[in-house]
Amino acid sequence: MNFQHWSRCGLARWLRHGIGIACLCAAPLAYAGHAILLPEGPVTLVRGTSVFTIDAPLAVEPGDLFSTDAHASAQIEDANGTIVALGAQTRISIDAVPRGVNTDTLGALSLLSGWIKVERGDGDSSGQVKIDTAALRVSMPHGAAVIQASADAASLFIETGGILLTLPDSADAPRSLNAEHYVQRENGKPLEAQARPAPAFVTGLPLAFRDPLASITARMPTQPLAPTHGRVAAYSDIAEWLVSPLTVRRTFVARFRSLVRTETFRTQVRLNLRELPEWRTVLCPPPSAPPRRPGIPKTSEVDS
- Domain check: are 111 and 182 in the same one? yes
121 vs 54, more confident: 54
- Domain check: are 212 and 266 in the same one? no
From first CA to last CA, the distance across the chain in angstroms is 113
- Domain check: are 252 and 115 in the same one? no
pTM reported for the whole predicted model: 0.84
- Domain check: are 45 and 94 in the same one? yes
Looking at residue 23, what is its pLDDT? 32
- Domain check: are 40 and 73 in the same one? yes
Number of domains forming the structure of the chain:
2
Count other C-beta atoms under 10 Å from residue 125's C-beta.
Answer: 8
Q: Residue 83 domain-assigned?
A: yes
Q: Residue 3 domain-assigned?
A: no
Helix or strand run (H / E) with residue 165: strand 153-166
Dist CA 215 CA 225 (whole Å): 19
Looking at residue 80, what is its pLDDT? 84
- Domain check: are 173 and 255 in the same one? no
Percent of the chain at pLDDT exceeding 90? 66
pLDDT in tens, 160-216: 999 999 999 887 789 999 999 999 999 989 999 998 999 999 999 999 999 999 998
- Domain check: are 155 and 251 in the same one? no
Q: Residue 215 domain-assigned?
A: yes
CATH number at residue 150: 2.60.120.1440
Range of the domain at 194: 22-219
- Domain check: are 150 and 251 in the same one? no
Looking at residue 10, what is its pLDDT? 44
- Domain check: are 122 and 186 in the same one? yes
Q: Residue 295 domain-assigned?
A: no
